[in-house]
Amino acid sequence: MIAACSRGINVTIVTDRSYNTEHNDFEKRKEKQQNLKAALEKLNALGIATKLVNRVHSKIVIGDDGLLCVGSFNWFSATREARYERYDTSMVYCGDNLKGEIEAIYNSLERRQV
């Protein structure tokens, strides 16, 4: 992402406002919230835009108007151990006919923005 930004490509990360911050213990929850805030600040400092939204679990990658990847797979945090393995998918779509679908996703995320 940093390399893309250095080439002048706009990169935006949209994440749920409570991403990985829930915990029954108040102090641990507060620490997780501070960690999320620090991560977002670091991304912003690197030139990566961030947006917080309410109640989103989908993993989505959009490349301009012709590339869309949507799925449920936790790309960075999924367990790789067989006993905890789950069936998750990510579907990649390519083509000029995606503009309407991509616009609908942007609009949905915009309505959920904090």
Q: Quick one: CA dihedral 6, 110, 78, 27, positive or negative?
A: positive
Q: Which pLDDT tens digit goes with each residue over 2-15?
A: 999 999 999 999 99
What pLDDT was estimated at residue 74?
A: 79
Q: Which pLDDT tens digit goes with each residue over 103-112?
A: 999 999 999 9
By three-state DSSP, how is residue 79 classified? coil
State yes or no: pLDDT of 58 exceeds 90.
Answer: no
pTM over 0.85: no
What pLDDT was estimated at residue 51?
A: 96
Q: Which residues contact 77 (CB under 8 A, 6 or more apart)?
A: 20
Looking at residues 22-45, what average pLDDT do you find? Answer: 94
- Beta bridge partners, 16, equal 53
What pLDDT was estimated at residue 10?
A: 93
| Parallel/antiparallel/unpaired status of strands 67-71 and 90-94 | antiparallel
